[in-house]
A and B are shown apart, each in its own frame.
Chain A
Amino acid sequence: MESPAEIIQHSGGVIGVSWLMIALPLLGAAILLLGGRRTDRWGHRLAIGMSVTAFLIAVISFFELLGLPEDERRRAIALYRFIPGMADMGVLIDPLSISFALLITGVGSLIHIYSIGYMAHDPDRRRFFSYLNLFVAAMLLLVLADNYVGLFIGWEGVGLASYLLIGFWQFKPSAATAAKKAFIVNRVGDFGLLIAIFTVWTGFGSVAFDKLSGTAVGEALKTGQVSQGSLTAIGLLLLLGACGKSAQLPLQSWLLDAMEGPTPVSALIHAATMVTAGVYLVVRSGGFFEAAPTAQLVVTIVGVVTLLAGAIIGCAKDDIKKGLAGSTMSQIGYMMLAAGLGPVGYAFAIAHLITHGFFKANMFLGAGSVMHAMNDEVDMRRYGGLYPVMKVTAITFIIGYLAIIGFPLLSGYFTKDGIIEAAMEHSSVLGWLAVLGAGITGFYMSRMIFMTFFGGRRWADDAHPHESPSVMTVPLIVLSVGSVFLGAFLILGNRLMLFLAPAVGRPEELPAFHAFSGPGLATLVLVAAGAAFAWVRYGAAEVPLVAPRGSFLTAFARRDLYGDALNEALFMRPGQWLTRIAVFFDNRGIDGLVNGLAAAIGGTSGRLRRVQTGYVRSYALSILFGAAVVVGALLYVGNM
């Protein structure tokens, strides 16, 4: 295994000002939020300008980075002292962070552009764009910060932006509830991350990435500065944070509800970028995980369980966005699985993350385009036969579909196959479960295609579907091109793995790509079977307008695998009981103490207040007494 390169201080060039990537969208958000209605007319253009500029900076920085020798491609730009003695603000440009920056600003800019059309009739379009800018800034801070404190600020920032955007149509109670739910569930994960950072700080005395490399962690373990136990704890706590942000079991429940937000938000935040922050965190913290095999094992288990759970949920959803959300969960499960495999898996995790960013954003925006055409209808049972009326949307959507199910030579084929093979090498149980997940993916995604674009027209009476304007279809086309070619580009010749090596290390032996390996063939067969089954059920047969009762399994999937029921039974109701008991004891016991204390302070305050008579003579007297005490005390101390 080859370990990551050293981090070098950098100045000059575009990399030297790469912090502008964060600053510009932040400035955009500030101008739009503070400027208020005055900026309504041109606000969206400013936001797009900021986002596109950030993208250009990312591209130029990327090429500057490529121009450097391989082992000098980790560049830290110190910005300013932040919390003296603990954390300074700085940007780290390395292959890992620049990959994310390109994805965030690239897909982000496309989604900004798409939103002009999608939000054209919304009276609050400016506010929407300001939140999008805020999100882009926070997400870039998350991936570009060179220490955990900066990362955490970005982490909370994207949480805030996500909350604001899910609840963007806050007049809908469902949207307001969904926003709240996302926030609360994420809070659990955020606390995990926060405690992880505290533990790192106490153990290592630093939160900067360059002091926490794999070598530094190994050294600290050897000298006994930190124990194996605390490393495992750090790993598990980081994973808890990752689970919250990336909607992995057991903190997955918020993602499906989050689809209440406008569709561009679902595409940008809840498919392409923010939900992948957990994968970033695990890969960035590779040093800890590689030294804590137990934590690594838990990561892979979480990944596999989520990839299956998400796929099963996706099978039963009639709401097109929720179906895609289940699929997102499932695909991030794949990435998590890969990230838990160590350096072998990192490159595949990131590769799948990038290609997924493209094809999933592609499909989400496609779904948005369909909804736009169908009066915001989301129920696929009311779609059907849309292919002839909106060809661009349909074709780009189908490209995304082929990419996600792993159709040979499209993006998903390369990246997912890489993950499956790496998992297979690690443990055959993990590998076969991942293959099974791919088969289910074949089923539910085909179901979605057949129900939406083919079969009979089950439209509502007032629906007159039409193709969306070009400001919406052009981003779709760009994204679908990425969905076709990106996988091959990243995986063949281990291009991404070699590029990422300075940042995350790489295995001694580079994996070779086998066009038709055993697991690969098994995957293809299962996917084909899934698609065929979907054709029988939803392509050839009539789709009823009202969902049939279905089997026990369907009900299970429809209810999100009883995730909410479980949360309610395990946490909410006991939580409510606990609060009731707590309130009872609080009233009887603790209140006595707390209220006593509060009353004591309040009472003291009330009594002392009477000293404040308002009479100058008594003030003067108090000064005199005070002076006497001060002088007396000085004499006492001085003569001691």
Chain B
Amino acid sequence: MNGTINAPSIEYAQLFPVLVVFAAAIAGVLVEAFAPRHLRKSIHVPLTLLTLAGAFIATVVTALGGLPATPVAMGAIAVDGPSLFIWGVILFLAFISTLLINDDEQFVAQAAAVPGSADEEDAVRSGFAQTEVYPLLLFAVGGMLLFPAANDLLMMFVALEVMSLPLYLLCGLARRRRLLSQEASVKYFLLGAFSSAFFLYGMALLYGYAGSVDLKAIGQALATVSNQETLLLVGMGMIGVGLLFKIGAAPFQAWKPDVYQGAPTAVTALMASTVLVAAFGAVLRVFWVALGNLDWDWRPVMWGVAILTMIAGAILAITQTDIKRMLAYSSIAHTGFLLTGVVATGAAEQNSKALSALLFYLAAYGFTTIGAFAVVTMVRDAGGEAGHLSRWAGLGKRAPLLAGVFAFFLLAFAGIPLTSGFFGKYAVFTAAVGGGALPLVVVGAVSSAIAAFFYVRVIVLMFFNEPAADGPSIAAPTTATSAVVALAAAVTVVLGVFPQPVLTLADQAASVLFIR
């Protein structure tokens, strides 16, 4: 220790998917700085898509090449089965979200222009849209990849912020209803910062308890350090709050409807799918790896949170009148269903069953969600997207195919057999029963029934109500948007009829659980 610093060893091969995303994000910033304005979009879109596709392929190659038995990058990042599965899902979902983001109608011409000002009019007339969206997206995706793979709390915190900061910005870039969008952005930022503070404080307390921020070290300290219980419990609670905020579990769900509604719908689609996947990965890693031996202590609390989340999501969704808010509450209810899998811990075999179920659910839910929001982007009237549910009345008569696909997504959310949603719920609830959480499953079934009510209500509204005379028009979808809807619908069908390949993949990813 005489002043020399050893260069850290980095396993570039295993980290390639993450590195390539960050490199492309930085390249994107350079494009913003140096490329002429009219060229930027035509550089960004292929760059982003290629990067995401390349990172996806790299993930597959890494997965095929056998996995390291220990965390890489000096123990900071764990590239294990669950990480790779989550990476694959996130990259795939981000790829199709990019296709949605590619729609010019979504984003503001000049974010800095005051809404309603002459500046804004000029900007709109210029015909451009903010292209910073693409590098921001890539930074966020990079954070999402790191977040569930981080093997120490410090890395996890950095990843959390790298993921969140671009998202705060993206939320404020909606082209229409800009005030609502900016409000959503600020709200998300303030509350996100607030919850990060909890995370940080919790991390400090756990460091105080275990003398390390490494997840494995914390896990070992549980066995050896016997005093300072309070430090541990409070620290665990605070970290938990930070993470539960990100997945939108009750009582930390308040931001979700406001932000989902205000953000540009393409960004909502991205957040509602990928952030949930990444954040659940992080929740599992913290609670199963670092705090796994303490499950007797956190399980009852997590039970309470799960019950509260399922019920709050389902009940609050009933009185929603805005389609995006309804989907936000539906997402909260689904978070609750997923939490029933998180508490289903037990022996190693039970754990990998629960983990596999969660991974499958996350993948299935992600695709259906993006599909549903993609449909929302297509139903428009003079003021932009027709968000109010009354505007959706009789949509089945005007656009039978679109309404049919949307109805199908809703049925998948409700978990009707032969959709992916059924197998997701089936797998998670089976795992929960196996883990002794039968009462949770009962609550889950009851809230599914309540949730089915508001899903079916929208279907009834679309197909059995007379269309309003001045109802919304259906925007002729861009090829990219139709591709997203078709792909999401196809995945929802295939996972509902032929789930085995993905189930097997999830099983394999979950077989050795998390490495420490």
Contact = CB atoms under 8 A, between A and B. Distances in A.
A633 interface: yes
Contacts of A80: 498-501
A609 interface: yes
B301 A608 contact: no
Interface string B254-287: 1101100000000000000000000000000000
Interface string A601-629: 11011101101101010111011011101
Interface stretch (B18-26, B46-54, B184-192): B184-192
B104 interface: no
Contacts of B499: 80-82
A356 B312 CA distance: 60
A83 interface: yes
A630 interface: yes
Contacts of B349: none
Interface residues of B, number: 50
A634 B237 contact: yes
Interface string A304-343: 0000000000000000000000000000000000000000
Nearest to B241: A627
Contact of B230 (A608, A618, A623, A635): A635
Task: Name A's interface SS.
Answer: helix
Given A612-B257, A627-B238, A620 B316 contact: no
A602 B321 CA distance: 13
Nearest to B187: A616
A638 B233 contact: yes
A606 B319 contact: yes
Of the candidates A83, A85, A616, A629, the one having the most CB atoms from chain B within 10 angstroms of its own CB is A616
B151 interface: no
A161 to B, nearest CB: 16
Interface string B226-245: 00011011101110110011
Contacts of B305: 630
Contact of A616 (B190, B241, B498): B190
A604 B500 contact: no
B315 A608 contact: yes
Most buried by A among B186, B194, B237, B252: B237
Contacts of B304: 633
Contacts, number: 114
A512 interface: no
A132 B273 CA distance: 38
Contacts of B198: 623, 627
B492 interface: no
A502 to B, nearest CB: 29
A19 to B, nearest CB: 11
Contacts of A604: 315
A635 B300 CA distance: 12
Contact of B251 (A83, A606, A626): A626
Contact of B315 (A83, A601, A633): A601
Nearest to B237: A631
A84 B194 CA distance: 42
A570 interface: no
Nearest to A639: B229
A637 interface: yes
B319 to A, nearest CB: 4
Nearest to B190: A616
B191 A608 contact: no
Interface in B207-241: 229-230, 232-234, 236-238, 240-241
B450 interface: yes
B59 interface: no
B346 to A, nearest CB: 17
A83 B499 CA distance: 9
B195 A631 contact: no
B450 to A, nearest CB: 7
Given A627-B238, A633-B301, A639-B229, A619 B316 contact: no
Nearest to A631: B237
Contact of A623 (B191, B312, B426): B191
Contacts of A622: 251-252, 254
A553 B320 CA distance: 63
A-B CB proximity, top 7 nearest: A80-B500, A631-B237, A626-B251, A619-B254, A605-B319, A638-B233, A627-B241
27 contacts: A81-B499, A81-B500, A81-B503, A82-B500, A83-B426, A84-B426, A85-B430, A601-B315, A605-B316, A606-B319, A612-B316, A619-B187, A620-B191, A623-B194, A623-B251, A623-B252, A629-B251, A630-B301, A630-B305, A634-B297, A634-B298, A637-B297, A637-B298, A637-B300, A637-B301, A638-B229, A638-B232
Given A626-B252, A627-B198, 16 more contacts: A81-B503, A82-B500, A84-B430, A609-B319, A612-B254, A616-B190, A619-B254, A620-B194, A622-B251, A623-B191, A631-B233, A633-B300, A634-B234, A634-B301, A637-B297, A638-B297
